[in-house]
């Protein structure tokens, strides 16, 4: 596995690989790798010849009161894990390399950010879109792999790639979970023992919400989720929402896909999870239009 920390070297290597006709697969991460990240690398091996994994904790996507400084980092451990999972190149530029001076231009996301994490993390997705615009130019991948655990991020990236005409296939990959159902996340290490046990209820609330929807949502599913999470965790519920996906708007009878999404703040970690429901038949049930899942 090649290890590169300079943008110039990365671009040189990619140019050589492209000249040799290689298909480039890209897995951007913030490091502290876990099985969720590794599943993206394994997925990338299916259609790409050269797998580039980036590790960059992007300051632009952290708010002033968020965890940028204490975000977990362990490059040595990440190197071993990325190599074992089959990465060919590990790209780990530092902040100076990525942002040598104050930016003249940054990317601003206009849609799909008024709800969920975009609402509570103002500017977060502008930071994500800006760093990915840079990384996409540096790595020039044919395929880029993202986890659907961060489904709003995938929705924004699909918009970025389409609107800015990046010749990149965005592949959303399924959420990897611990055996008890907790979505894997680098931030899970912040949970204390009690919170770790409680955190399983995020996934449980999604399973329940799906069932409530199947039984015919009476418009109370979000409230029932909040109540369930308040009863079963010590965390503060940030949101429980059912929206159309990927638009992230209130569902209508025309919505073909829905997302049920949840975010809970524990003492040192804000956790998110979601489920995306396909083949949804929406129909008016009472005076209010509600959606049912089939
Ligand atoms: P991060 O390092 O948190 O920025 O995540 C890097 C990539 O890994 C993103 O595309 C995430 O959506 C993805 N990812 C994080 N956790 C998981 C998970 N549990 N399952 C699948 N993908 C994940």
pLDDT of 69 reads: 95
Domain ranges across the chain: 2-173, 186-277
Tell me the average pLDDT across 111-119.
Answer: 98
**Residue 120: pLDDT above 80?**
yes
Instruction: Return the CATH class of domain 2-173.
Output: alpha beta
pLDDT in tens, 152-177: 999 999 999 999 999 999 999 999 99
CA 207 – CA 279 distance, rounded (Å): 17
The pLDDT assigned to 288 comes to: 40
Nearest CA to ligand 1 atom 7: 29
Measured at the CA of 268, the angle between CA 124 and CA 263, to 5 degrees, comes to 55
Question: Is 225 among the annotated ligand-binding positions?
Answer: no
**pLDDT (average), residues 72-88:** 98
Q: What is the pLDDT of residue 285?
A: 44
Where residue 216 falls among pLDDT bands split at 50, 70, 90? confident
Q: Which of 197, 195, 217 lies closest to 208 in space, CA to CA?
A: 217
Backbone angles phi, psi at 45, to 5 degrees: -65, -20
Whole-number mean pLDDT of the chain? 94
Query: How confident is the model over 234-249, as a mean pLDDT?
Result: 98
For ligand 1, whether the C-beta of 183 sits within 6 Å is yes
**Is 148 part of any known ligand binding site?**
yes
Residues identified as active-site: 37
Best residue for ligand 1 mutational test, from 39, 117, 149 (most atoms within 8 Å of Cβ): 149
- CA–CA dist 115, 239 (Å, integer): 9
How much distance in Å is there from the Cα of 173 to the middle of ligand 1?
9
43 lines ligand 1 (CB under 6 A): no
pLDDT bin (cut points 50, 70, 90) of residue 218 is confident
Taking residues 227-234, what's their average pLDDT?
Answer: 98
CATH of 186-277, one of 3.40.190.80, 3.30.1300.10, 1.10.540.10, 3.40.50.12160: 3.30.1300.10
| Single pTM value for the model | 0.95
Atom 19 of ligand 1, residue of closest alpha carbon = 184
Give, in order, the Cα–Cα distances in Å from 45 to each of 49, 58, 152.
7, 25, 24
What's the pLDDT tens digit per position in 4-54? Answer: 999 999 999 999 999 999 999 999 999 999 999 999 999 999 999 999 999
Distance CA 116, CA 250 (A): 12
Q: Is the CB of 37 under 6 A from ligand 1?
A: yes
Residue 78 beta carbon below 6 angstroms from any ligand 1 atom? no
Most informative mutation of 90, 147, 148, 187 for ligand 1 (most atoms within 8 A of CB):
147
Among residues 121, 50, 35, the alpha carbon closest in space to that of 86 is found at: 50
User: Does residue 199 carry a pLDDT above 90?
Assistant: yes
pLDDT at position 192 is 98
257, 245 contact by CB (below 8 A): yes
Predicted confidence band at 119 (pLDDT cuts at 50, 70, 90)?
Answer: very high
Binding site membership of 146 for ligand 1 (Cβ less than 6 Å): yes
d(CA 217, CA 289): 10
CA of 32 to the centre of ligand 1 (A): 10
To the question of whether residue 235 is assigned a binding role by annotation, the answer is no
Kindly state if the Cβ of 135 falls inside 6 Å of ligand 1. Answer: no
Q: Which of 86-95, 211-220, 238-247 is predicted least confidently?
A: 211-220
Torsion sign over Cα 138, 143, 149, 155: positive
- Tell whether the model's pLDDT for residue 272 goes beyond 90: yes
pLDDT at 188 over 80: yes
pLDDT of the residue at 217: 74
280-284 and 289-293 as β-strands: parallel, antiparallel, unpaired?
A: antiparallel
CA gap 270, 282 in Å, rounded: 32
Cα–Cα distance for residue pair 107/230, rounded to 1 Å = 37
Longest dimension (CA), the chain: 62
Residue nearest to atom 12 of ligand 1 (CA): 147
Please tell me the predicted confidence (pLDDT) of residue 136: 99
| pLDDT value, residue 280 | 60
In this predicted structure, the answer to whether residue 294 has a pLDDT above a threshold of 50 is no
Q: Which residues contact 65 (CB under 8 A, 6 or more apart)?
A: none
Q: What number is the average pLDDT over the span 172-193?
A: 97
């Amino acid at each position: 596995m090649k290890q590169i920390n300079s943008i110039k070297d990365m671009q040189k290597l990619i140019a050589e690989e492209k000249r040799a006709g290689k298909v480039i697969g890209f897995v951007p991460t913030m490091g502290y790798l876990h099985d969720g990240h590794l599943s993206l690398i394994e997925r990338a091996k299916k259609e790409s010849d050269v797998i580039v994994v980036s590790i960059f904790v992007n300051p632009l996507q952290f708010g002033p009161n968020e965890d940028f400084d204490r975000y977990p980092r362990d490059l040595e451990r990440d190197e071993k894990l990325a190599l074992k999972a089959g990465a060919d190149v590990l790209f780990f530029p530092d902040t100076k390399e990525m942002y040598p001076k104050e930016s003249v231009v940054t990317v601003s996301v206009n849609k799909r950010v008024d709800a969920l994490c975009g609402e509570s993390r103002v500017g977060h997705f502008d930071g994500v879109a800006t760093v990915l615009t840079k990384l996409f130019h540096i790595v020039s991948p044919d395929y880029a792999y993202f986890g659907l655990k961060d489904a709003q991020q995938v929705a924004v990236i699909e918009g970025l790639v389409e609107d800015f005409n990046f010749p990149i296939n965005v592949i959303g990959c399924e959420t990897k979970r611990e055996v008890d159902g907790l979505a894997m996340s680098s931030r899970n290490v912040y949970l204390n023992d009690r919170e770790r046990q409680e955190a399983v209820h995020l996934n449980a609330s999604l399973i329940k919400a799906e069932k409530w929807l199947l039984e015919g949502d009476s418009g109370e599913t979000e409230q029932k989720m909040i109540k369930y999470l308040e009863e079963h965790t010590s965390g503060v519920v940030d949101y429980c929402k059912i929206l159309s996906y990927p638009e992230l708007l209130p569902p209508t009878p025309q919505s073909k896909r829905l997302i049920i999404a949840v975010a809970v703040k524990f003492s040192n970690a804000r956790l998110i999870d979601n489920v995306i429901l396909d083949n949804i038949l929406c129909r008016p049930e009472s005076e209010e239009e509600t959606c049912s899942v089939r």
